[in-house]
Structure 1
């Protein structure tokens, strides 16, 4: 578990499916990520994270608010699987829309970056998002990440013509982390 002042990143539990599905079915949340997920798809996504955690010791963990134990999303690090982040530590987050604008994503992402640099030997951490996702890009920039323009790519899991296909890549090297 990773604790910050207001948040807890923890392993996934069976009872996380319902609250996480509420997040993953919110059109505002999914507007920059893809189609809303149903309960079965959400459960499969959580199982995928559990498998990644078991194999690598980290994943996009359940993100819980400490003051009320509410699951408000996910945050953490995985081994990237596409484009410029393939096999690199990729940080990511997804938050309930009523939790936006409160600094939770930045707080959790800072802890995830610190975890990567404290626990993995990689020299940089990466993040990707749809080109138009200004909220996530702002979090990346608050972390001190730099837009790696030469690494921007069309997401291979999205079909030609999908408006969410153009992705940007950001990175932060270990040496710069202490200065962010």
Structure 2
């Protein structure tokens, strides 16, 4: 099928390249970037995840895209859509993002998130898209609010991949479903 590419005003969400491995591994070694995960990833783990993202994009045409700044070509992280992991108390497709620390505070996560939601609703024709994070991840929760996603405390759940296990779920419904 081949990976799709999404362009926004300032960003390009694209297939991963070999040149992305070093900045991706550096992001995954940054304790602040990985603050709401149970572990920091080493180079080999980062390389495996990049390979997995690349394969899924090639197979499905969508998934976790590499994010670069359109004007400079600088890799700044990832954003995309993926099927919710097995073992969680809900099913569906989630939207997500993770950016290098130097890319924080510029609105890139919100811009990429909007593009991913549009892709999920307009191209994939999804009825609902989910977002999940650690309860304390205030920055990601703020992005979810800016994306117009809704939060219901009754949807809180235990996620073994976040420190302390306490996670929150946000939802966005297609305009077709409202």
TM-score by length of 2: 0.90
Q: Any conservation in 2 of the 1:124–1:173 contact (CA below 8 Å)?
A: yes
Q: Equivalent of 1:78, from 67, 70, 82?
A: 82
Deviation of 1:133 after TM superposition, in Å, equals: 0.2
- Distance in 2 (alpha carbons) for counterparts of 1:36 and 1:144: 30
Matches within 5 A, 1:48-87: 48-82=52-86, 83-86=88-91
SS of aligned partner of 2:32: helix
Matches within 5 A, 1:24-173: 24-82=28-86, 83-86=88-91, 88-157=92-161, 162-163=163-164, 165-173=165-173
* Structure 2: segments with no counterpart, 5+ residues: none
Question: What is the number of residues matched between the two proteins?
Answer: 173
Structure 2 Cα separation of the partners of residues 4 and 79 of structure 1: 23
Larger helix fraction of residues: 1
1:57-96 Cα shifts (integer Å, max 9, x gaps):
211100001111110000011111142453x121000001
**Which of structure 1's runs of 4+ aligned residues deviate more than 6 A?**
none
Q: Give ranges in structure 1 of 5+ residues lacking alignment.
A: none
Who is 1:174 aligned against? 174
- 1:34 CA drift (Å): 3.0
* RMSD of aligned residue pairs (Cα, Å): 1.8
Partner of 1:21, secondary structure, is helix
CA contact (8 A) 2:38 2:161 kept: no
1:85–1:16 CA distance, 2 compared to 1 (3 A): farther
Contact 1:84 1:169 in 2 (8 A): no
Change (3 A) 1:95 1:24: same
